[in-house]
Structure 1
Amino acid sequence: MNTDLLVTTTEHIPGKEYEVIGEVFGLTTQSKNVLRNMGAALKNVVGGEIKDYTKMLDEARNISVDRLRKNARDMGADAVVMMRFDSGSIGTDMQSVAAYGTAVKYV
Structure 2
Amino acid sequence: MGIENYGGGQTAQADVLVVTTNDVPGHQVTQVIGEVFGLTVRSRHLGSQIGAGLKSMIGGELKGLTKTLVETRNQAMERLVEQARARGANAVLMMRFDVSEAADVGTEVCAYGTAAVISKL
Q: TM-score, normalised by structure 1?
A: 0.93
Secondary structure, aligned partner of 2:23? coil
Whether 1:13 aligns to 2:20 is no
**Matches of 2:102 and 2:28 in 1, distance apart?**
40
Shift of 1:45: 1.2
Corresponding residue for residue 4 of structure 1? 15
Is there any run of 5+ residues in structure 1 with no aligned partner, and where? none
| Runs of 4+ residues over 3 Å off in structure 1 | none
The answer to whether structure 1 residue 77 and structure 2 residue 77 are counterparts is no
- The 8 Å contact of residues 15 and 90 in structure 2, kept in 1 or not, is answered as no
1:56 aligns with 2:68: yes
Contact conserved, 2:76 with 2:111, CA < 8 A, in 1?
yes
- One-letter amino acid of the structure 2 residue matched with residue 15 of structure 1: G
- Alignment-mate amino acid for residue 99 of structure 1: A
Task: Show the counterpart of 1:91.
Answer: 103
Amino acid at match of 2:82: K
The percent identity for this pair of structures is: 47
What code does the residue aligned with 2:68 have?
M
> Aligned equivalents of 2:104 and 2:56: distance in 1?
15
1:28 equivalent to 2:40? Answer yes
Alpha-carbon distance in 1 for matches of 2:105, 2:51: 14
Count of equivalent residues: 107
SS of 1:42's equivalent in the other structure is helix
Specify the SS of the correspondent of 1:17. strand
Secondary structure of 2:15's aligned partner:
coil
Structure 1 54/42 Cα, relative in aligned 2: closer, same or farther at 3 Å? same
Distance 2:32 2:24 in 1: 13
Distance 1:45 1:106 in 2: 50
- TM-score when normalising by structure 2: 0.83
